[in-house]
Amino acid sequence: MGTADLALPSRPERTFSPGTLARIYGEFVRVGFVNTIAYRLRYYTGIVTYFIYVSVYYFIWKAIYAHSASIEGFDFSHLLTYVAVGWIMRSFYYNNIDQDIANQVLEGKLAMDLIKPVNPQAMYIAQALGESVFRLVMLTAPTAVVLLLVYPVRRPASGWHLVAFLVSAVLSFFLVAAINFAVGTFAIRLKSILGLLRAKYFLLELFSGLLIPISFFPHVFQVALAFMPFQYISYIPVLLYLGKISGLGILRALGLQLFWVTAMIALGHGLWTWSSRKITIQGG
């Protein structure tokens, strides 16, 4: 796994200098990247898969916009761009931390995570980051090229909007990773969480705004979703790209996104502490 390369102290201590920390978690990023290379061929069909995702919604929206010029301030080209950029982003931020934890639990390997003198949450997120860097090169970039060639996707509203979008996309990665980690901790207490993970998968697709902009939801839902982190995964970043958020609104959007990343990391940390205490009791 490459973890053997780490110079582990003979007696695990939990305080490291910032430089050592960066080296350790940097190593996990590398491991995540390298592990993914084994599946590199799968990313070719991944491009096809993402192309199919976008195509289905392209045809649905095309049929809809044949009868109306604008819905909730989106004309067809905005909406097509919304869909395409949303899926392109997803090809980057997507990860399976929750499923990885579930597998570790099922295979009884979770103890290995607990005895490492590192923060398990940071370790899982670092590995996922390595995987996402790989996806960025092997999946996101080619998918973006194909989609831009086939469909009339709009350019970003301005240079500043592009910068804000890119920052936001990175924050999306951390938001999804933090949420997935928090969900994954439930695997420790429940026996099988595959059904739960499937439900979470569809929940995120819908409430992140990936399938349909949040402004299309009934008002009650919009109010409720404003108090949840999901729309910061896809809806807000893509609005930045489209230039539907401007000026100080950009800083406010990024600030709120950062807030939710922090909140979800804190939640995941709390859940892990709570769940791993339970293991100790059971393991006697």
Partner 1 sequence: MKRHLRLFALYFAQYAKVRLAYKADFIIAFLSSMAATVLGFGFVLVLFTKIPKLQDWSFYEILFLYGFSLIPLGFFNVVSWNLYQFGDLYIIQGRFDRILLRPVNTLFQVLFEKFRLESLQEVVTGTFVVAVAASKLHVPWPVSNYFWFILMVASGALIYLAVFLMLTAVSFWFEDRVGIVPPVFNMLTFGRYPLTIYNVFIQFMLSWIIPFGFASFYPTTHFLGRTSFNTYFYLVPVVATSFFMLALFVWGRGVGNYSSTGS
Using CB under 8 A, list all residues that contact partner 1.
Answer: 41-42, 44-46, 48-49, 52-53, 55-56, 59-60, 62-64, 66-68, 71-72, 190-192, 194-196, 198-199, 201-203, 205-206, 211-212, 216-218, 221
Q: How many of the other CB atoms lie within 10 Å of CB of 82?
A: 26
CB of 116 to partner 1, least distance (A): 28
CB of 106 to partner 1, least distance (A): 12
CB of 52 to partner 1, least distance (A): 5
> Which strand (E) or helix (H) includes residue 32?
helix 18-37
N residues, the chain: 284
CB 24 within 8 A of CB 16: yes
The smaller minimum CB distance to partner 1, of residues 4 and 149, is found at 149
CB of 226 to partner 1, least distance (A): 16
> Which stretches of 38-118 are DSSP H helices?
42-65, 76-93, 97-106, 110-115
Instruction: Calculate ∠ Cα 43-46-50, nearest 5°.
Output: 150
CB of 62 to partner 1, least distance (A): 7
CB 144 within 8 A of CB 50: no
The smaller minimum CB distance to partner 1, of residues 14 and 191, is found at 191
The smaller minimum CB distance to partner 1, of residues 123 and 212, is found at 212
CB of 66 to partner 1, least distance (A): 8
CA separation, residue 41 to residues 36, 135, 153, 258, 284 (Å): 10, 12, 27, 34, 44
Q: Concatenated DSSP letters for 222-252? A: HHHHHTSSGGGTTHHHHHHHHT-S-THHHHH
Q: Which two tokens stand for residue 137?
A: 């090169």
The smaller minimum CB distance to partner 1, of residues 38 and 281, is found at 38
CB of 166 to partner 1, least distance (A): 27
The smaller minimum CB distance to partner 1, of residues 209 and 243, is found at 209
The smaller minimum CB distance to partner 1, of residues 21 and 206, is found at 206
d(CA 236, CA 152): 21
The smaller minimum CB distance to partner 1, of residues 48 and 114, is found at 48
CB 184 within 8 A of CB 128: no
